[in-house]
Chain A
Amino acid sequence: EAQVTQNPRYLITVTGKKLTVTCSQNMNHEYMSWYRQDPGLGLRQIYYSMNVEVTDKGDVPEGYKVSRKEKRNFPLILESPSPNQTSLYFCASSSAGTGFQPQHFGDGTRLSIL
């Protein structure tokens, strides 16, 4: 089954404790992206990647890091989490094919930073 898998689905942690949210896709997609969803703000793009070892900032990259060492994986790293990073996070991927292919989303990771 074609899917984007995020782990963990839920995490409660404390300020300053480094954490990583993993994202993996099995569709051989070139493009991957991370978003955060907050009430009243919709989805905002954090980082994206258009190829292995190619990443770039979205609209809200502060406090986050990403890496793309393999095509299928795109982890999101919070080096020193703070309460304002409490949010619902989504990873997405899409093909680089013609016609602006739609994104496939994971089921989300709900992070609570105390």
Chain B
Amino acid sequence: RKEVEQDPGPFNVPEGATVAFNCTYSNSASQSFFWYRQDCRKEPKLLMSVYSSGNEDGRFTAQLNRASQYISLLIRDSKLSDSATYLCVVTSGNTPLVFGKGTRLSVIA
């Protein structure tokens, strides 16, 4: 089983739509969780951390379910500029980040 698994997509959604991405991780000792955004042939950029209590940043909401080892990202009111690959990232303490393959999102006008 892969350490971090994501639905690769692509998710093709119209502007203004709400879209949700899911991610599962295999290492129950994982402690820190993140969503990164990566544009084509660019470096990943931190979108937000994911906390057990759930957290929201504008149109983005991240949730963590430790019991199910499951992370989600919800994007509301999608913009064209949201088109990118979203990477689920997990780490155990100060060990290197483990990246999922990413989920591709295309927001269509």
Q: Please determine whether chains A and B interact with each other in the same assembly.
A: no
Name A's B-contacting residues (CB within 8 A): none
